[in-house]
Structure 1
Amino acid sequence: MNTNDLNLFEAVAHHGSFTKAAEAMFTVQSNVTARIKNLEEEFGAALFTRTNRKVELTAAGETLMRYSKQLNNLLEEAKRLIGKTDVVRGQIKIGFLETIMTLKGPELVNLLSAKFPFVELDFRSAMKPVLINDVLNYKLDAAFVSAPLDNSELKQIKIKEEKVVVVAPADCKSLNDLIKRKPLKAIVFDQGCVFRARLDSWLVSKGIAQYHKTVMNSIEGVINFIESGIGCSVLPAEIISTFYSGRKIKTFALPRELGLMTTILVYRKDVTPSPALKAFISLYDNI
């Protein structure tokens, strides 16, 4: 076993595929398959369950993944310290809700590149459940998600609180006017979206369990549909004030328990952060 074997092992776990891992590591699938087989023989346990559709870590594979991450992170730290340089290098995979990426992605890239120019960011946007699952399964180093989150395997850092508001067509006079519309129409993201959940909770509090939904998986698309008078939605107030203040839409405050959202940064507790991830985490109070 060598560090390249562990890198191939991590690539298979990340991509869920021997073929994709081979492509990412610039080798052939037969080499990846052979190296994983050698690892399994060396440890005396299956590291992956294999089906026609995907490859997933076994319990033994998850244990090895923790140690593999620790080893690679320690090697990176050793290279930096032995080389007597303060330069932090490496790539980190960070997950975002799309709204957070829209607001803070460019700012974060600029801030990181100014302080740690040799750290590369790989951004992924997805819904909260997917992001959490990807962090737990080592496919992301960390992710920005909304609180609350009850998971003993994840370290949580509070980033910020922000307001979320109901966004409605320009002809809407009030929230009471909005909820009286028959049928009530809304532009929503897919299931798992925190803003869709806030909208559902608010409508239920008003005695509305059913409403007409149009699913639109881009912020620009949601705004366009609202502006066209098709329906309402729930979005961060800062998104509207920063990018859409001149559009023909109106915003209305939600009750405090629904109108405030806390963003947290999460990463695994049982894996010592790499130097690159430590550098990224050190920026959190500037986000």
Structure 2
Amino acid sequence: MDLLSLDIFRTVAQEHSVTRAAERLGRVQSNVTTRVQQLEEQLGTALFFREGKRMQLTPAGTTLLGYAERLLSLAEEARQAVSPEHPMGRLRLGAMESTSLVRLPQPLAQLHADWPDLRLELRTSPSRQLIEQLLAHEIDAALVAWPPPGMDADELSVDCTPIYEEALLLALPATHPQVASARDLELHTVAAFTRGCTYRQIGEDWMRAGGRQQPQVIELASYPAILACVAAGSCAGVVPQALLDQLRAPPALQWVPLQPCTTMLVTRQGFATPAFTALRNALLASANVRAESATASVS
């Protein structure tokens, strides 16, 4: 059960296909198939259900994937630890969609210019899902709106560094009567990302503060879709001011200030590879809040 076999197994699990896994790894399909079969023979159990060309994890495969993520993550951390003066290798970063669109282009470009041997992989998800991926060793660091909804922030074994302070706005149709407080709101629906999004939670909490019941939610996958839905006149939406500032032609909507929200750079407790340090330094150079590390531990 060597690291190479585990990496091949993980890639097949991610791609659900030997063909796509082989392409991604730069290997021939027969080699990938053989490696998976050898791993199954060593463990004495099937790791995949074969549904035509599609590969689905068995219960045993799902269990192994969690261990494989942790073992490969630790191996990468070890490789980087022996070259502390030269950030290199792979670093997996998760971020909210708005952060990746507005905040990350400049610091990530600088990071690549300073350390061309560092390979950064970026994925986007709502904050709670990013924390779950981080704790499962599926990513190495995440930029999340703090605190993540549905989680006890004091019970998370993570290290946090505040990076950005975001001013949040409630977007309303231009035809909506002027809103000074939640009591003035006439809409009962909010367009937002899937559950686990901190901005969505803030919007829902604000709408309930007007004495109304839980608002209905239209779940969408992008800010353009959210703004288009608001412009159609049927719902509200929550948007960070920084994203609105990036638009060449902001939509003609009514904007109501909400509470500010801090974007934290979060890692597993004690994670400190040269690659992560380089990323952290690049983000701090673009930060709009003072850098103060804070750690929460599982008791």
Could you list the runs of 5+ residues in structure 1 that have no partner in the other structure? none
> Does the 8 Å CA contact 2:166/2:241 hold for their aligned counterparts?
yes
Amino acid at match of 1:109: L
Tell me the equivalent position of 2:190.
186
Q: Describe the SS at the equivalent of 1:73.
A: helix
> Does the 8 Å CA contact 1:22/1:32 hold for their aligned counterparts?
no
Residue 224 in structure 1 maps to residue 223 in structure 2: no
Q: 1:179 deviation in Å?
A: 5.2
> Does the 8 Å CA contact 2:173/2:231 hold for their aligned counterparts?
yes
Q: Describe the SS at the equivalent of 1:282.
A: helix
CA shift digits 1:233-279 (9 cap, x unpaired): 1111222233266431121122xxxx121111222236x44432332
Could you list the runs of 5+ residues in structure 2 that have no partner in the other structure? 51-55, 148-152, 287-299
Instruction: Report the Cα distance in structure 2 between the residues aligned to 1:218 and 1:51, rounded to whole angstroms.
Output: 33
Instruction: Report the Cα distance in structure 1 between the residues aligned to 2:281 and 2:181, rounded to whole angstroms.
Output: 46
Tell me the equivalent position of 2:293.
none
Residue 214 in structure 1 maps to residue 218 in structure 2: yes
> Does the 8 Å CA contact 2:80/2:275 hold for their aligned counterparts?
no
Amino acid at match of 1:106: P
Q: 1:219 deviation in Å?
A: 0.6
TM-score by length of 1: 0.77
Tell me the equivalent position of 1:125.
124
| 1:87-126 alignment runs, 5 A limit | 87-126=86-125
> Does the 8 Å CA contact 1:18/1:32 hold for their aligned counterparts?
no
Tell me the equivalent position of 1:263.
263
Q: Describe the SS at the equivalent of 1:92.
A: strand
Cα distance change of structure 1 residues 51 and 260 upon mapping to structure 2, 3 Å threshold: farther
Tell me the equivalent position of 1:279.
278
> Does the 8 Å CA contact 2:9/2:36 hold for their aligned counterparts?
no
Which stretch of the first structure deviates more once superposed, 18-27 or 198-207?
Answer: 18-27
How large is the RMSD of aligned CA atoms in angstroms? Answer: 3.3
Q: Describe the SS at the equivalent of 1:283.
A: helix
CA shift digits 1:163-207 (9 cap, x unpaired): 112112223342258855655343222222222211110111111
Tell me the equivalent position of 2:57.
54
> Does the 8 Å CA contact 2:204/2:215 hold for their aligned counterparts?
no
> Does the 8 Å CA contact 1:153/1:269 hold for their aligned counterparts?
yes
Cα distance change of structure 1 residues 35 and 285 upon mapping to structure 2, 3 Å threshold: farther
Tell me the equivalent position of 1:199.
203
Amino acid at match of 2:33: S
How many percent of aligned residue pairs carry the same amino acid? 20
Q: 1:130 deviation in Å?
A: 1.9
Instruction: Report the Cα distance in structure 2 between the residues aligned to 1:133 and 1:12, rounded to whole angstroms.
Output: 21
Instruction: Report the Cα distance in structure 2 between the residues aligned to 1:178 and 1:250, rounded to whole angstroms.
Output: 14
